[in-house]
Amino acid sequence: GHKKWITGISWEPVHLSAPCRRFVSASKDGDARIWDVALKKCVMCLSGHTLAVTCVKWGGDGMIYTGSQDCTIKVWETSQGKLIRELKGHGHWVNSLALSTEYVLRTGAFDHTSKTYSSPEEMKK
């Protein structure tokens, strides 16, 4: 798939599709690719960066976020791989990304404490 080395990988959040079988990889070749582990192949290529993709995150909203040496962050939808937003303004490479949903994604589906909540509002807190 990729023509150069891989710089990052992010799994599709489990609450979007269980069991989780897709992940996205970012590469020095300037592309991000969505892979299906059951099919054992690349199912979509996200191209649009002009330099290496340094980081990638698959967000809880279903969008994929890529940061690049071209000083941009691009936001992609995952059904057709279309670019939906481009964030410009960095003075140098974008080396890392963080999403506000990461804690919820890491703990929400695998809550081993068996805590029960009295209301949806309490659960959100």
Domain boundaries in the chain? 6-106
| pLDDT band at residue 1 using 50, 70 and 90 as cut-offs | confident
> According to the model, what pLDDT value does residue 60 have?
85
**Is 2.40.128.630 the CATH number for 6-106?**
yes
Least confident span in 62-66, 71-75, 100-104 = 100-104
Of 17-21, 27-31, 107-111, where does the model show the most confidence? 27-31
| pLDDT band at residue 71 using 50, 70 and 90 as cut-offs | very high
Distances (CA, A) of 62 to 70, 79, 92: 24, 9, 27
Q: Of the candidates 97, 96, 110, which has an alpha carbon nearest to the alpha carbon of residue 59?
A: 97
Over residues 62-73, the mean pLDDT reads: 96
**pTM, to two decimals:** 0.80
> According to the model, what pLDDT value does residue 118 have?
80
Is the model's pLDDT at 103 over the cut of 60? Answer: no
